[in-house]
Structure 1
Amino acid sequence: MTEATQRFFESLPERAPTVLRGLVAGTLQIDLGTGHQTEHWLVRMRPGAVESSRERGPAYAVWYSSSTLFDRLITGEAQALAAVLRNESTFSGDVVLLLAFRRFFPDPPGTRDPCEVAREAVGRRS
Structure 2
Amino acid sequence: MSEAIERFFESLPARAPEVLRGLLSGALQIDLATGQETQHWLVRMRPGEIEVGRHRGPADAIWYSSADLFERLVTGEAQGVAAVLRNESTFSGNVVLFLAFRRFFPDPPGTRDPREVARRQTGRLA
Q: Same fold (TM over 0.5)?
A: yes
What's the counterpart of residue 90 of structure 1?
90
Matched, 1:30 2:30: yes
Q: How does 1:4-43 map to 2 (within 5 A)?
A: 4-43=4-43
Runs of 4+ residues over 6 Å off in structure 1: none
Count residues with an aligned counterpart. 124
The CA RMSD over aligned residues, in Å, is 1.1
Aligned AA for 1:93? Answer: G
Superposition TM-score, scaled by structure 1 size: 0.95
Superposition TM-score, scaled by structure 2 size: 0.95
Q: Which runs of 5+ in 2 are unaligned?
A: none
1:28 positional shift: 0.1
Helix, strand or coil at the partner of 2:65: strand
CA offsets, 1:25-70, max 9 Å, x none? 1000000000011000000000000000001011000000100000
Aligned AA for 1:88? Answer: E
1:118 positional shift: 1.6
Percent identical: 75
> 2-side partners of 1:23 and 1:114: how far apart?
28
1:2 positional shift: 0.9
1:119 positional shift: 1.6
1:3 positional shift: 1.4
What's the counterpart of residue 109 of structure 1?
109
Helix, strand or coil at the partner of 2:55: coil
Q: Which runs of 5+ in 1 are unaligned?
A: none
CA offsets, 1:60-103, max 9 Å, x none? 00000100000000000000000000000000000000000001
